[in-house]
Each structure stands twice: as C-alpha cells, then as structure tokens.
C-alpha cells in the first residue's frame, strides 16, 4: 500500500496476537498466513516467536521487491531452492537466482542480508537491529523527492 505521498505501508493485522502469546509463553501456535511468506517453524506447526517470523516474511518481501519474484515456493526443507539455504549452500541458491538477472544485479551485501534473514533456524536469523545496521541498508538510495516524483510519473501513466 502507498499513502498519498507514496510512502510504503505494509500492513496485515488480520491475525494480530499478543506478543507474549495467548498463553503468556512468548510463543504463538496458530498456523496462519500465506504459505509463501511463512517461516519454517510455522509450516512445521512448531511454537514460534511472532517478531522473528515477521522478519522472515520481511526478508521474502524484500527479495520480491528487489527481484520481482519470490526466492522459493515455501520455506520447507524439501523445497528445492530453500533447501540450499537450509543445507548451508547459499552459494548455489544465489547461482540459481543470478541466472535470471544481469551480472552484478545481486551485490554481496544483498545476498548476505537475505541469506541471513531467511535462515532455517530462528536463532540464526538477523534481528531488527542487525537488519537496520546491515551494510546493504546503509547504501545511498534515491531521495524521498526522487521516489515521489517517480511514483507520480507512474501514476500519471496509469491514468492516461
């Protein structure tokens, strides 16, 4: 979603739950959401930390926004592409994805960020502070004005 000034808004509160879990344990238990965005622990119906699985889904969203397609069908160790991350063969995961993009499309920083956001074990994934402080996040990007102008141009093209 975009607001009137083209700021990105990501929202889905249809399944909002207390962060401590309904039983106060700090874990959630309900299998819900869209399969392609679910962390492995949700797919495997294990107790999960809501913030950790949200950051996993954010990694998938970031990958899609950057590439135009998802990184894998689902975060299941049997998925041929996700299995490469699970088995510590991210090099092959990226080799596969590089085939459909120009050379240099994926920077080492981007690969590192995504690989670490999509780790199989929740304990091995980056937390929010690590994501914000990641070198890929520190690169120069377009200004808010440049982004707004680009979206205004696209909006005008759609109206015509």
What pLDDT, on a 0 to 100 scale, did the predictor assign at position 154? 84
Task: Specify the higher pLDDT residue, 18 or 79.
Answer: 79
- H/E stretch holding 110: helix 108-117
Measured distance CA(132)–CA(126) in Å, rounded: 10
Is 16 within a domain? no
pLDDT confidence tier of residue 30, bands split at 50, 70 and 90 = confident
Is 60 within a domain? yes
What pLDDT, on a 0 to 100 scale, did the predictor assign at position 139? 85
Is 24 within a domain? no
Task: Name the residue range of residue 56's domain.
Answer: 35-159
Measured distance CA(113)–CA(85) in Å, rounded: 13
What pLDDT, on a 0 to 100 scale, did the predictor assign at position 16? 64
Contact between residue 42 and residue 48 where contact means Cβ atoms under 8 Å apart: yes
The CATH number linked to 148 is: 1.10.510.10
Is 15 within a domain? no
Model pLDDT for residues 2-23, shown as the tens digit of each residue: 787 777 776 665 566 666 677 7
Is 76 within a domain? yes
Is 5 within a domain? no
Measured distance CA(10)–CA(1) in Å, rounded: 6
Q: Which two tokens stand for residue 148?
A: 């707004």
Q: What is the pTM of this model?
A: 0.82
In the chain, how many domains are there? 1
Is 8 within a domain? no
What pLDDT, on a 0 to 100 scale, did the predictor assign at position 17? 65
Is 141 within a domain? yes
Model pLDDT for residues 95-123, shown as the tens digit of each residue: 999 999 999 999 999 999 999 999 999 99
The predicted model gives 87-94 an average pLDDT of: 97
Task: Specify the higher pLDDT residue, 83 or 24.
Answer: 83
Please return the burial class of 72, using the count of CB atoms within 10 Å of its CB with bins 0-12, 13-18 and 19+.
Answer: buried
Mean pLDDT of the chain: 89
Does residue 144 register a pLDDT over 60?
A: yes
What pLDDT, on a 0 to 100 scale, did the predictor assign at position 130? 96
| Beta strand segments in the chain, E | none
The predicted model gives 66-85 an average pLDDT of: 96
CA atoms within 13 A on the CB side of 69: 7
């Amino acid at each position: 979603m975009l607001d009137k000034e083209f700021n990105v808004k990501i929202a889905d509160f249809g399944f909002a739950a207390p962060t401590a879990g309904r039983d106060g344990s700090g874990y959630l238990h309900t299998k819900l959401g869209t399969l392609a965005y679910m962390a492995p622990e949700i797919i495997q119906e294990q107790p999960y930390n809501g913030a950790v699985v949200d950051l996993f889904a954010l990694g998938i969203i970031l990958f899609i926004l950057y590439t135009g397609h998802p990184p894998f069908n689902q975060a299941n160790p049997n998925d041929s592409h996700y299995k490469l991350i699970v088995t510590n063969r991210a090099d092959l995961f990226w080799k596969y994805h590089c085939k459909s993009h120009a050379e240099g499309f994926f920077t080492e920083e981007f690969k590192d960020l995504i690989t670490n956001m999509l780790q199989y074990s929740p304990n091995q994934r980056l937390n929010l502070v690590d994501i914000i402080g990641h070198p890929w996040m520190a690169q120069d990007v377009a200004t808010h004005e440049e982004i707004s102008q680009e979206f205004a141009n696209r909006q005008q093209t759609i109206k015509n």
